[in-house]
Amino acid sequence: MTPDVEARKRAAAEAAVALVKEGNIVGLGTGSTAKYAILKLGDMAQDGFEVRGVPTSIATANLAKEHGIPLTSLEEFPEIDLTIDGADEVDPHLDMIKGMGGALFREKLVAAASKTVAIAVDASKLVKTLGSRVPVPVEVHPFGWKVSKARLQALGGAPQLRLAGGVTYRTDNDNYVLDTRFKAIRDPAALEREMNNVPGVVDNGLFVGVATVVLVADAKGVKARKR
């Protein structure tokens, strides 16, 4: 990553943190952009700002603990004030692909529980059509994953089992990920539903109608795009 991209990720994430109010329950996203939000919130918490976080992954929980953010859970707070997360692609309707970091299942649940979902991205994540750059990560149960794979192919996808260090990648939920390329995703809402109807699919990385606001950072600064 160039220093510019890192600075933009940080600027977008910090603009999202500016939406947090004292006493809020905050969903903590996963990835290299969400990390900057966690660092900023951690500084604020250590200065006495009252906030509790609901992490979307084990990595995020560890980072948040390290930086002094008190953690809670969906069990304790099934309603979250604000979630801050990143994205892999964002289209003009603010629909997204997420999950290249593997946390899509928990990210979607935490977002679903949130009154406001603030997404922080650098401008390179903006696309006209979802699927232009990245595949859709699909979390599948390991039992019978090849059946799920064949059904995703029947939907027009080209699924590939995600590997990490030469072995099958496992999510925090101990599932597999099928990174599934599509030629063009014309109707993300329909495809999101169809993929979640495939037996063995736990959830998929199309996030349609989820973002409340997307904070986009480019060379000129950060702009908010609202649904």
Which residues are near ligand 5RP by CB under 6 A?
A: 29-34, 85-88, 98-104, 107
CA atoms in the 13 A half-sphere facing the CB of 177: 24
Annotated catalytic residue, options 14, 89, 107, 194: 107
Q: How near is the Cβ of 111 to ligand 5RP at its closest, in Å?
A: 10
Q: How many CB atoms lie within 10 A of CB 141?
A: 15
Q: Which is nearer to ligand 5RP, 69 or 136 (CB)?
A: 136
Q: Which is nearer to ligand 5RP, 51 or 217 (CB)?
A: 217
Q: How near is the Cβ of 28 to ligand 5RP at its closest, in Å?
A: 11
Decide if 107 is catalytic.
yes
Rounded to whole angstroms, the Cα distance separating 38 from 114 reads 17
Rounded to whole angstroms, the Cα distance separating 182 from 66 reads 39
Q: Which is nearer to ligand 5RP, 90 or 191 (CB)?
A: 90
**8 A C-beta contact, residue 180 and residue 66:** no
**8 A C-beta contact, residue 79 and residue 123:** no
Q: How near is the Cβ of 23 to ligand 5RP at its closest, in Å?
A: 25
Q: Which residues are catalytic?
A: 107
